[in-house]
Amino acid sequence: MARKKKEPEQNKKKVNTDGVVGLVGSTTEQAISETLEINYMPYAMSVIVSRAIPEIDGFKPSHRKLLYTMYKMGLLNGGRTKSANIVGQTMRLNPHGDAAIYETMVRLAKGNETLLHPFVDSKGNFGKVYSRDMAYAASRYTEAKLDSICSELFRDIDSDTVDMVDNYDSTMKEPALLPTSFPNVLVSANQGIAVGMASNICSFNLKEICDTTIALMDNPDHDILETLPGPDFSTGAELIFDEATTREIYTTGRGSFKLRAKWRYVKEGNLIEIYEIPYSTTSEVIMDKVADLIKAGKIREINDMRDETDLGGLKLTIDLKRGVDADKLMQKLFRLTPLQDSFACNFNVLIAGMPRVLGVGEILEEWTAWRTDCVKRRLFFQIQKKEDRLHLLKGLERILLDIDKAIAIIRETEMENEVVPNLMIGFGIDEIQANYVAEIKLRNINKEYILKQLKAVDDLEKEIANLRDTLNSSKKLKNLIIRELREVSEKFGQPRKTEIIYESQQAEPEEEVDDTPDYPVTVFLSKAGYLKKITAQSLRMSGEQKFKEGDTLAFSRETTNKAEILVFTDQFQCYKSRLSEFEDGKASQLGDYLPQKLGMDPGENVLHVILPGDYKGFIVFFFENGKAAKVPLSAYETKTNRRRLTGAFSDKSPLSAAIALDKDTQVVLYSTDSRAAIVSTALLLPKTTRNTQGVNVMSIKKKAALDKVLTLEESGIVNISRYRCRSIPTAGALLRDEDALEKQTSFEV
């Protein structure tokens, strides 16, 4: 074999950017901590700082970029434009795709009803926050502009109140924050999931937040609960007030508020109308949960429930059965469904680029400090502008006091570019002032104009003095911010949507009582899968049991109406139900067809039915390949309302029998080649998994299979010692005529 030619060293070496020499194609070891620091940490910090966590102005970057784009498009005072146009323009600042931008707009829109004070005045279908399935229309169909409250977001943005930074390709500027004149961070609900942390801020009433901010500025020891009783949500509903919980959230920024739907009873029609639901759920989730409870038999008072939401707003209607107490039913629904839900708070806000979980008081304190800085920058900007104007007027004042001299200088100057220098020399003014004077129109050289300009100098000097006085006085700065907060509160404040309910106003929750009637019944199951539940009285009066043509009785059992049943199928699944969910029948009826009643998959058939009782025993599964698995019944006792368990038993071999036992006993195994064996179930160890393959109990010959399994008492075997075995697996013994089964009418014990 030819040897590989050795490559020259200079072709194998490579110098990296750090000047370290390495081999091309070679790998170097790197500590996992170093890999995380170099590769993962920048991504994590980008998600935290630039995407998911809101800043002190109450916005994430995606919100801010969208609103600023709409502001620059003139949509604050102008008419609406197509949403697609806004989305396209926003991509100059936010290059993450049109779908993400439009979804952001939908959340901010009035039509979606996510926010107490929407920032986008929308037209068209923007979906609803209280509906999971109501999709919003495409951006080419809807229109939008900025809502009037956005004037408070951009009130001072052109007065150098916030830093302007480059966009992603450095072709234009955008604000790092929006100079909101009210604490929007607590007025607009905000949710975000970052890497390793999240943020979930509930919305508060604008007027209450402004009053609280003012009170804290006047008195840092102010009790926030006096002016801010709780959050206010756009979907309304009721807030169940708990003082201790509320104070904890206001202090730590973490906790949860309990919300409850609003409803009314309509006597005409005997129905309940639910017209406001908790902010944290949707109408579809509520409908699905109620449907599940009805199927599980936990709610029997409802005839029908439907969604009648229209342009008038949300409405879920419940038709009641005759004689049902609406108040008691609603208390039950509050306990079992999301009609009463909780909103988990996590007030995680970026402060100077660092995520911090703050209480309400701390957030308002941070906002006040930030707003004070914004107002200071605005005042300084205004002073600079007025001083620039004053500087020009001071130069003009010198000229206007001796206008003839100025005209003479201009007239006697031969070159145009020498006019400004000659004016500077003649009046002792600087270049900026001289340029301004040189541009004055001839018509303005009159007494009236001169007097106006001289008066403007005095006015500007007074204004600058007042601005400087305000800028240098913390008290005046505070009063200015308070005055602006009051203006916002009066102009945009609105009544609470979420009503506060105190504990004393709540109906006492009743203990959940299982009112299912219990009485003796007998269960009959046919081989085709038809189940009949017949009361003792009906059974005494009935005649012969009726079955479908070709069908026969599989087994019958005496039990009670409240008993549960486990139905095992040929698809290795188990269906759980209560006998109380089946109507009482008669011997002359066929009964309920289990595959249809339990909602089985197409082609799925019943194999065995077990009555588990109190789930204290175990089930022994016997398979055609001669194996058996012993599984505790508790493995099928679900704590939730699940009605179907997949992987209920092993799928490695077809199931021959399943026997429920409360203690170990002796069973008889029958094979298709006329052999039998008596085995004690005590030889089988319980398995923790339902779908275990089990262990060999009977050695099955080729082309044979384990056919049936019965308890020793039911088998009728005479020669017990002939078939009894002390260990497993066993081959069994050939059946004698006196021990053979003449017929078999049961496949489950």
SS3 14: strand
519 is catalytic: no
**Which amino acid belongs to residue 40?**
Y
Please report the DSSP string for 285-331 in residue order.
HHHHHHHHHHHTTS--SEEEEEE--BTTB--EEEEEPTT--HHHHHH
- If you ran DSSP here, which 8-state letter would residue 136 be given? P
What value, to the nearest 5°, has the Cα angle with vertex 667 and ends 664 and 672?
Answer: 150
CA dihedral 159, 160, 166, 170 (to 10 degrees): 60
Q: Under 8 Å CB-to-CB from 301, ≥6 apart: which residues?
A: 320, 321, 324, 329, 332
d(CA 156, CA 378): 7
- If you ran DSSP here, which 8-state letter would residue 583 be given? P
Choosing from 43, 141, 168, 519, the catalytic residue is 141
Which run of H or of E encompasses 336? helix 326-336
Calculate the CA 485 to chain-centre distance.
32
d(CA 4, CA 34): 37
- If you ran DSSP here, which 8-state letter would residue 130 be given? T
Q: With beta carbons less than 8 A apart as the criterion, state whether 538 and 586 touch.
A: yes
| Residue 463, token pair as written in the block | 């204004």
| Residue 725, token pair as written in the block | 């075995």
d(CA 407, CA 427): 12
Q: What Å distances lie between residue 608 and 180, 296, 545, 601, 605, CA to CA?
A: 69, 22, 20, 16, 10
Calculate the CA 393 to chain-centre distance.
61
What value, to the nearest 5°, has the Cα angle with vertex 711 and ends 709 and 716?
Answer: 100
Q: Under 8 Å CB-to-CB from 582, ≥6 apart: which residues?
A: 531, 533, 592, 597
Q: With beta carbons less than 8 A apart as the criterion, state whether 94 and 110 touch.
A: no
Give residue 262's region: left, alpha or beta (phi > 0; psi -120 to 50).
Answer: beta
Which run of H or of E encompasses 11? helix 9-12
Q: With beta carbons less than 8 A apart as the criterion, state whether 535 and 558 touch.
A: no
- If you ran DSSP here, which 8-state letter would residue 442 be given? G
Catalytic residues: 141
